[in-house]
C-alpha cells in the first residue's frame, strides 16, 4: 500500500556538502529527501542514471554507498571522475591549481566567441551579440585550457583541473544560469577575476564507477540495489514548438571546454552546431505522441523503470513534466509498486500534501512541485 507522507519526524535534517554549477535540473534542495527515501530500504549501492552535476552521486558516496554515475554529457562525466574516482587529498592538487592560476592570459578561441568588453555595462558587443564572460576572464580561460592540455595529466587529475575551471567560470558568468541566452547588462559577478580553487574532492573506500552514454544502452550492464532516476523534464505545454531549445544545449560551453574541440557555432548565443536539432535530444523531452496517441516521453519513463536492474527505484519527476499523475502511476504500476511518495514544495523546500490529480501541469500561480517515488520492482 502506498504510504502518504507529510513532514517526517525521522527525516534527514541535512545532507552532506556537495559541489556543482548553476543547473536547471539541480537536486541540491532535494538531497535530504532523496537520502531519506534511500534509508528506508537495506541498500548498499546506487545507480544515478542522469547524474548531471553529480550532486546526488556525491551525496550518496559520502553516505557510504557504492555509486555508479551515468550521464550523456561529457562535462558530467568529468565532474563524476573528479569527485567519485579521486583518491587524493585536496592539498595534493594545490600546486596544480596554483600553476594554472599563474599562466599568462592569451587571446584564443574562447575569447573570440564568448568574451566581451565591459562596454559601459552593456554585454552586447560591436557585432550586436551579447557574451557570457568578460574578455579578461576568457583570456585566462584560453590560456588555462591550453595549459591543461599541454600538461597531459592523468585522467583524474585532468578532471579535477577541468572541474576547477568550470566551477570558476560559473562564478563570473553573465547569464541566468544557462547558455541559451545572455544578460543585456553585465552581471556584477562578471567583473570579478577568474580564480581557480581546488574542488571539494573527497575519498571513500567504495569502488565507484563513472559512465557516459544513453541510459537505455547503459542499463543492461548495471546492477545495483537502488536506481535513482531524474530524467530530463519534457514540457507539459501542448503548444511548445518543435524548434524549442534542447535541454542539452543549455550548457554547451562546458561541453566545449571539456572536449577542447573548437566546434562550428551558430545563433546569437554561439551554440555548438550539434545542439541545433529541432527534435528533442532526449526521448524524455519528446513533445510528440506515438501512433496510438500516447506521449513518447511517458512511454520512455515506463521503459526506464522496466529496464532497471535494481530491487528499488527512486524516481524524481516534476509537476511541470509531460506525464500526468495518472499516466505516471500506470507506468510505475507496470514495473512495481510505490512504497513511498513525497511531494515537495520546490520553492519553499518543504513537504507538501500528496495530491493525485488528473494532470500535473504546473499553474503559473502555484508553487513548483517535485515528486519523489520509492518503488519496489516486481
Helices of type H across the chain? 31-39, 55-62, 74-84, 94-101, 109-114, 135-151, 155-170, 215-218, 252-259, 296-307, 325-333
DSSP-assigned letters across all residues of 62-112: HTT-EEEEEES-HHHHHHHHHHHS--S-GGGGHHHHHHHHTSPP---HHHH
Asked whether 239 and 202 are in contact (CB, 8 A), the reply is no
Instruction: Determine the Cα–Cα distance for residues 231 and 315; give it in Å rounded to an integer.
Output: 9
Q: Give phi and psi for 48, each to the nearest 5.
A: -100, 100
Asked whether 139 and 147 are in contact (CB, 8 A), the reply is no
Cell 507506468 locates to 331
Superfamily of domain 1-86+207-242+284-378: Vaccinia Virus protein VP39 (3.40.50.150)
User: Three-class SS of residue 13?
Assistant: coil
Residue 198, all three cell numbers: 581546488
Residue 281, all three cell numbers: 535530444
245 backbone φψ class: left, alpha, beta (φ>0; ψ -120 to 50):
beta
Domain ranges of the chain: 1-86+207-242+284-378, 91-201+246-278
Cell 543585456 locates to 184
Q: What is the 3-state secondary structure (H, E, C) of 316-358?
A: EEECCCCCCHHHHHHHHHCCEEEEEEEEEECCCCEEECCCCCC
Cell 518543435 locates to 242
Instruction: Determine the Cα–Cα distance for residues 142 and 74; give it in Å rounded to an integer.
Output: 19
Instruction: Determine the Cα–Cα distance for residues 252 and 232; give it in Å rounded to an integer.
Output: 16
For every one of its 378 residues, what pLDDT tens digit does the chain have, with 9 covering 90 and above? 343 333 344 444 479 999 999 987 778 888 999 999 999 999 999 999 999 999 999 999 999 999 999 999 999 999 999 999 999 999 999 999 999 999 999 999 999 999 999 999 999 999 999 999 999 999 999 999 999 999 999 999 999 999 999 999 999 999 998 999 899 999 999 999 999 999 999 999 999 999 999 999 999 999 999 999 988 755 544 544 444 556 668 899 999 999 999 999 999 999 998 887 654 466 666 666 666 666 667 788 899 999 999 999 999 887 666 666 777 888 898 999 989 888 777 554 434 444 333 333 233 234 467 788 999 998
Amino acid at each position: 500500500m502506498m504510504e502518504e507522507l507529510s513532514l517526517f519526524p525521522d527525516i534527514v535534517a541535512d545532507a552532506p556538502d556537495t559541489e556543482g554549477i548553476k543547473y536547471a535540473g539541480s537536486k541540491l534542495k532535494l538531497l535530504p529527501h532523496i537520502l531519506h527515501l534511500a534509508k528506508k530500504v537495506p541498500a548498499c549501492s546506487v545507480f544515478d542514471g542522469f547524474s548531471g552535476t553529480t550532486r546526488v552521486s556525491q551525496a550518496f558516496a559520502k553516505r557510504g554507498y557504492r555509486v555508479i554515475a551515468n550521464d550523456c554529457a561529457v562535462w558530467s562525466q568529468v565532474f563524476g571522475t573528479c569527485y567519485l574516482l579521486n583518491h587524493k587529498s585536496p592539498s595534493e592538487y594545490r600546486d596544480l591549481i596554483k600553476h594554472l592560476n599563474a599562466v599568462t592570459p592569451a587571446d584564443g578561441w574562447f575569447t573570440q566567441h564568448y568574451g566581451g568588453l565591459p562596454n559601459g555595462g552593456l554585454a552586447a558587443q560591436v557585432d550586436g551579440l551579447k557574451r557570457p564572460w568578460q574578455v579578461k576572464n576568457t583570456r585566462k580561460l584560453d590560456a588555462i585550457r591550453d595549459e591543461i592540455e599541454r600538461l597531459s595529466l592523468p585522467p583524474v587529475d585532468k578532471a579535477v583541473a577541468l572541474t576547477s575551471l568550470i566551477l570558476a567560470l560559473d562564478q563570473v558568468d553573465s547569464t541566468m544560469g544557462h547558455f541559451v541566452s545572455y544578460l543585456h547588462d553585465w552581471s556584477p559577478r562578471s567583473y570579478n577575476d577568474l580564480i581557480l580553487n581546488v574542488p571539494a574532492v573527497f575519498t571513500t573506500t567504495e569502488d565507484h564507477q563513472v559512465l557516459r552514454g544513453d541510459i537505455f544502452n547503459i542499463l543492461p550492464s548495471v546492477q545495483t540495489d537502488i536506481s535513482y532516476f531524474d530524467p530530463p523534464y519534457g514540457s507539459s505545454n501542448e503548444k511548445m514548438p518543435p524548434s524549442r531549445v534542447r535541454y542539452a544545449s543549455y550548457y554547451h560551453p562546458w561541453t566545449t571546454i571539456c572536449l577542447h574541440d573548437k566546434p562550428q557555432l551558430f545563433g546569437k548565443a554561439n551554440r555548438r552546431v550539434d545542439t541545433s536539432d529541432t527534435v528533442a535530444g532526449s526521448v524524455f523531452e519528446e513533445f510528440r505522441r506515438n501512433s496510438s496517441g500516447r506521449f513518447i516521453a511517458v512511454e520512455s519513463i515506463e521503459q526506464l523503470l522496466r529496464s532497471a536492474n535494481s530491487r528499488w527505484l527512486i524516481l524524481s519527476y516534476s509537476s511541470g513534466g509531460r506525464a500526468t499523475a495518472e499516466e505516471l502511476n500506470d507506468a510505475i504500476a507496470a514495473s512495481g509498486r510505490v512504497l513511498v511518495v513525497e511531494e515537495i514544495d520546490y520553492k519553499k523546500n518543504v513537504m507538501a500534501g500528496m495530491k493525485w490529480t488528473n494532470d500535473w501541469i504546473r499553474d503559473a500561480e502555484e508553487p513548483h512541485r517535485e515528486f519523489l517515488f520509492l518503488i519496489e520492482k516486481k
